Structure 1
């Protein structure tokens, strides 16, 4: 009994510590480990089963001792106890204690199995590893300052590409003193990259970047820092009758080129972007020769090719508000009108600033996610204020005037001019992609019931769903200001998608251009000092199956199991006590030892004609069987008469049959030859049953 209990507790404890050791660890060999865990779980339940079965069988002996039964019934009873699957036969079990214990085992054992199955689960978990990764790039636009388009640098036989195209005042095949190059437009390669990013609605990712940086089977993330332009936006007005403020710049103040009256509900536009005020003119001189060299004689105009100002993004847009006082919605009705829908117009302005970027780049499942975690505005790209109504009249075809003139950036200031040109190209692509209008209705404002449907778009912004909600009658998104800034950030980060651009450098060595070619380090050998210098800090992660251990459920399950095992042991101990401390089992040798009563030898046990000889055996011989009349005799199990001596126990009689002194012998006998124990409220009496 006690061994069964200890076995069950030991299995429960070992199962618990096994689970605890696996908690949160990768399931690298799930099948083997789960088999081992299942074995331990069923081992614990085997301890419970053994305790219950042994207790039941011991109880069978007690039942036999208390009742006279026919020989046939006894034969069936002993056959039943040999099969653990038959111990629940209710015809053979009439003791309430045994029935309750068996019911607990039959019904609670499946519950134990179910609950235990949830104590250890294989669940996905993100595994993080901090280390160093190869192939990480960042931006350094100082390389634009030194880029020579006549003799471009090469990396692995591929030319580095600038963000800008150039004209020149230099005569062919001559080296005239005082010549200079001046800006023309963004380079075609960069225009393609920015347009692709617009269509993708995200920053363009470098081909094979996740594999090169993270390695096979891993995701990774890292943080890069660089200096690049960013648009600083300021809201100037909100509401139908609100007054639009001027934009205050470091160099002055400028009024917006339009007011709220052009926007719904008074005007016709739901989206109005004006981004070309003060734009650099690609036609700097009306008459030029090869390469953009002016045909006029020198000296050329002082402000030829000068960056006079950086255009401001002026953007008006309309949001929709439900007419109900306690509800708002950004969904336009199917047939909106000025009378049925309340429109809220907004105007904001954005100025191009040189800024410090901190960017988190995440490669997950071969996709790229970029997040600007910190942005610090430093100073305007061109620190001037556009004067829209003043003509330049400075001898060039560029009629832009700004103040102060001393802050113009001239092409003779080569490093600063080339850097400004790169930043101007970046800003130009955003302004080009968002400039224009979206209008609804006829715009005369005379009919309040005019249906404002069928929007008319005159803008490249409809090429992307970043700014305009296609499913909402092309109305702008309410957070349009932030979306414009994010659009610009993605255009800049798209430059990283093509390492052939001159401004793309190694993150670990920002003074070195990266180029396109990347050779993965050989994992089978130790990296050289030079190879390690290209590694950059990163966090690698991946989803893996790990074991999740629920200690609370496990302890509940095994507390129930241990309690049942203890109950089985208690019942078995009580059965042993009632049996006088003599332990019997159902082995054949034990049956023979228990049936050596002298009265059994007088019975003819078989039909084989042996006359009752060999009465010690209950098995038929020579194919014979126990006669039916013998099977019907009532017999029991208890104390049988035996010669005194041998140091047996003294059994006190009940006063009816007299005391019996001598060796205590238990065995089978017929009714009248066997004394059985009966429990009364006061004492246990030894009586001769059947009298």
Structure 2
């Protein structure tokens, strides 16, 4: 009678078939319980059938799943997840931090509360490579731990699937050998065709195990470095102006009288005005209008910076040493500058009385003034031009001839209050048309001129010195004209030792002006600009170009290149070069035959002569910051808040990439656990491993021992013994006779053991073991 084991209520009952083919229930021995099972639509019927349908199936109590291995797999998976989360949190902390600084620089203030544990560990190592090295080390360690944990989970799943596969099909020894070695050796996949044919799921799990290390390669690289500017602030000593040390400003003669500018200051001024790089837009003042500077409270716009010239200037400003290659700081300066206006605007001041508010007409040339009656007479008379509004004033033939050939003329009378008078005949659409004075009705010749009056002012400068790669740019935030310098040359020449106290004057009422206001720095500045601008340019009717200036022979063009005005960019202003007379002269052409002009209008800063003079005076004041001819050992400085920018390496974290890699690894591992591991464990009924003990316990059958013996047909007994010995010690490669043996994991029955039938599971030769059946596992 065939038996079918059924386990109910904790006892053992057997289902056997009687002689008529009916299933009856016994108590495990030869006694029947008298119950018969009949099969209905949903299985067994009767009391046992109802119990079977009401109670879930239970596993054979001889097969017990140990909880340690499944719990370990779940714990390892959770650990892998935690390592991934830890990796993410660590990289989030590093994201945006400095990557090229020592560890202490990346932990804020360096206090224990502001430093991370990893940064402290990194600091303790005293690694000169900084946080980059430690970020890579910790990131790689976390990725490796994640891979290790998940690999152990997949290895456990693979072991269950291997045993599940061996329970279901017979395989050759080579195939089983490759199946056991599949996780560690991808080449084992090709050990036998039966692996791919019969163990497809096991192969997929092995492929997952092979690919898991890719996550540990991708994830550490999600923390990269990128170069970014970093702005910081420091309070440093920066160059300042020193206008009080007269020794570095003046060249004096006996009795302390100022003769001229000190050689170092004159050289600095020469570098400023001769800089061709002064060209370009922006800068201080306006363009157009009778006055380029506007009111005394006006603010300037634009910037003075740009291309560096060969003399060390940028846009006409001598360079200051940069505190850092890329830095900036704000500074407030007080120094000289010129305010230039049209003659019409100057005459409109002081209530329209025809006298500038910054100058007194009474006794301008001494104790008696019988030369000029008005400031307008002073302007035209000092320039040697006829007054178009006063036919009797300066109506000489020489004045008329100059007016007919005039291109440019300027003068700085010593009795005026630091004024420079300029007349130019070039046409400049940007200049206020009201500045052009019509010719006298009695004159047979007419001319239009840009009549300009420039006066020296004490000026407040609020500027930003910006350095880009060490190249300076001065950005005026506000330039305010404070007070005009209302004193004459007489006061300025004795200002070094205050000898004006010996002069017979009354402050603010004397023809000398307010001598107490005079300083050597301002006086020397006026002398330098008077020398630069004081010249006469004219063109005769035949086109001959004439130059007149102190030290230059009249009519000589051979020394034109040495004339300061022609060396400066001012000559490129339309007020000068756009004269019909100058355009007829060959002097403005590089190549007269090709009619190529030597004039570069873009070099006239702000477009007009008046604005360019103002800008040049301010550039000179800015350049004084770079003056290195001080008599004191330490140049003057002031404290300023310096903002500097340095390029540093910062950590950049690609969080999406990290979680994409980890999600793929964790997701595939979880699916392997649920779809493969749980299924295999449920069908196996026990936890299996690929360990030696599992191999030992499942290969102890007499069938395998017989298979290890040398095959029949060996001629010599010692050869058979040697072959048997090699097989018994597991020598590789495996003998083909053994490798091709087809084994199956199933039920093996020993006919005699203490007179009883013994049945156990193990490997045996195909055909000599009972297949593993469903009812051997579940009820």
TM-score range, shorter chain: 0.5 to 0.7
Q: Secondary structure at the match of 2:460?
A: strand
Q: Deviations over 1:227-280 (max 9, x none)?
A: 12345578x9xxxxxxx996787556899999xxxxxxxxxxxxxx98863424
**Other-structure match for 1:559:** 663
The secondary structure found in structure 2 opposite 1:139 is coil
Query: By how many angstroms is 1:225 displaced?
Result: 0.9
Pick from 79, 83, 88: which aligns with 1:16? 88
Corresponding residue number in structure 1 for 2:649: 545
Work out the CA distance in 1 between the residues paired with 2:611 and 2:216. Answer: 57
User: 1:115-264 to 2 correspondence within 5 Å?
Assistant: 116-117=220-221, 119-134=222-237, 136-141=238-243, 143=244, 147=246, 160-162=247-249, 164-165=250-251, 181=257, 185-197=260-272, 198=275, 199-202=311-314, 203-205=317-319, 209-210=321-322, 220-231=327-338, 250=349
Contact 2:460 2:481 in 1 (8 A): yes
Do residues 61 (structure 1) and 188 (structure 2) align?
A: no
1:638 corresponds to 2:736: no
1:638–1:677 contact (8 Å) kept in structure 2: yes
What's the secondary structure of 2:86's corresponding residue? helix
Higher Cα Rg, which structure: 2
Shift of 1:357: 0.9
Whole-angstrom distance in 2 between the partners of 1:357 and 1:663: 109
Which residue number corresponds to residue 445 of structure 2?
A: none
| Structure 2 counterpart of 1:595, from 699, 705, 709 | 699
Partner of 2:31: none
Tell me the SS of whatever aligns to 2:240. strand
- Verify the 8 A CA contact 1:637 1:668 in the aligned structure 2: yes
CA deviations on 1:366-387 (whole Å, 9 max, x unpaired) are 5544332332233444599xxx
Structure 2 unmatched ranges of 5 or more: 1-72, 103-129, 276-310, 357-375, 384-405, 431-449, 489-507, 534-564, 586-591
User: Cα 1:20–1:415, aligned 2, differ >3 Å: closer, same or farther?
Assistant: same
Per the alignment, residue 497 of structure 1 pairs with 626
Could you state the TM-score of these two structures normalised by the residue count of structure 2? 0.52
The structure richer in helix per residue is: 2
Matched positions, count: 498
Partners in 2 of 1:318 and 1:64 — Cα distance?
A: 102
By how many angstroms is 1:478 displaced?
A: 7.0
Shift of 1:668: 1.0
Q: 2:688 aligns with which of 576, 584, 591?
A: 584
| 1:126 partner SS | strand
- Contact 1:603/1:615 (CA < 8 Å) preserved in 2? no
3-state DSSP of counterpart to 2:97: coil
TM-score w.r.t. the length of structure 1 is: 0.57
8 Å CA contact 1:592–1:617 kept in 2: the answer is no
SS in 2 for 1:125: strand
State whether residues 644 and 663 of structure 1, in contact with CA within 8 Å, keep that contact through their aligned partners in structure 2: yes
**Counterpart of 2:700 in 1: which secondary structure?**
coil
**CA deviation digits over 1:296-320, x for unaligned, max 9?**
xxxxxxx4xx535244697968799
Equivalent residue number for residue 44 of structure 1: 146
Question: 1:145-194: CA deviations, max 9, x gaps?
Answer: xx4xxxxxxxxxxxx401x54568x6xxxxxxxxx94x654433222112
Tell me the CA shift for residue 410 of structure 1.
2.6
Root-mean-square deviation (CA, aligned residues, Å) is 5.3
Q: Distance in 1 between matches of 2:207 and 2:520?
A: 90
2:478 match:
374
Contact 1:605–1:625 under 8 Å retained in 2: no
The 1-side partners of 2:78 and 2:185 are apart by 24
Pick which of 598-607 and 2-11 moved more. 598-607
Residues 83 and 109 of structure 1, relative CA distance in 2, 3 Å threshold: closer
Deviation at 1:137, TM superposition (A): 2.9
For 1:383 and 1:601, the matched residues in 2 are separated by: 127
Q: Provide closer, same or farther for how the CA distance between residues 88 and 613 of structure 1 changes in structure 2, counting only shifts above 3 A.
A: closer
Closer, same or farther: CA 100–378 of 1 in aligned 2, 3 Å:
farther
Equivalent residue of 2:620, what SS?
helix
Residue of structure 1 equivalent to 2:634? 517
Contact 2:336–2:459 (CA<8 Å) still a contact in 1? yes
How far the C-alpha of 1:66 sits from its partner, in A, is 1.5
**Structure 1 residues 686 and 424: CA distance shift in structure 2, 3 A:** same
> SS state of the match for residue 143, structure 2?
helix
Paired residues for 1:270-669 under 5 Å: 277-280=410-413, 303=415, 306-307=416-417, 309-311=419-421, 353-362=457-466, 367-381=471-485, 410=512, 413-416=515-518, 418=520, 420-425=522-527, 427-428=529-530, 431=533, 432=565, 433-436=568-571, 437-438=576-577, 443=583, 453-457=595-599, 468=602, 487-501=616-630, 515-517=632-634, 536-606=640-710, 619-621=727-729, 628-641=736-749, 665-669=760-764
Deviation string for 1:30-52 (max 9, x for gaps)?
33432332333343334444444
Whether contact under 8 Å (1:230, 1:485) holds in the other structure is yes
2:172 to 70, 95, 104: 70
Structure 2 Cα separation of the partners of residues 549 and 574 of structure 1? 37
Cα gap change, 1:540/1:26 in structure 2, threshold over 3 Å: closer, same or farther? same
State the distance in 1 between where 2:219 and 2:263 align: 66
- Counterpart secondary structure, 2:670: helix
| Counterpart contact for 2:140–2:220, Cα < 8 Å | no
- Separation (CA, whole Å) in 2 of partners of 1:674 and 1:310: 123
Tell me if structure 2 keeps the 8 A contact 1:355–1:378: yes
Displacement of 1:16 in angstroms is 1.9
| Structure 1 residue aligned with 2:444 | none
Gaps of 5+ in 1: 148-159, 171-179, 237-243, 259-272, 282-302, 321-345, 385-405, 470-474, 503-514, 520-532, 646-661, 679-683
- Check the 8 A contact 1:316/1:348 in 2, yes or no: no
Shift of 1:591: 0.8
Q: Could you tell me how far apart the structure 1 residues matched to 2:614 and 2:760 are?
A: 101
Distance of 2:338 and 2:759 partners within structure 1:
106
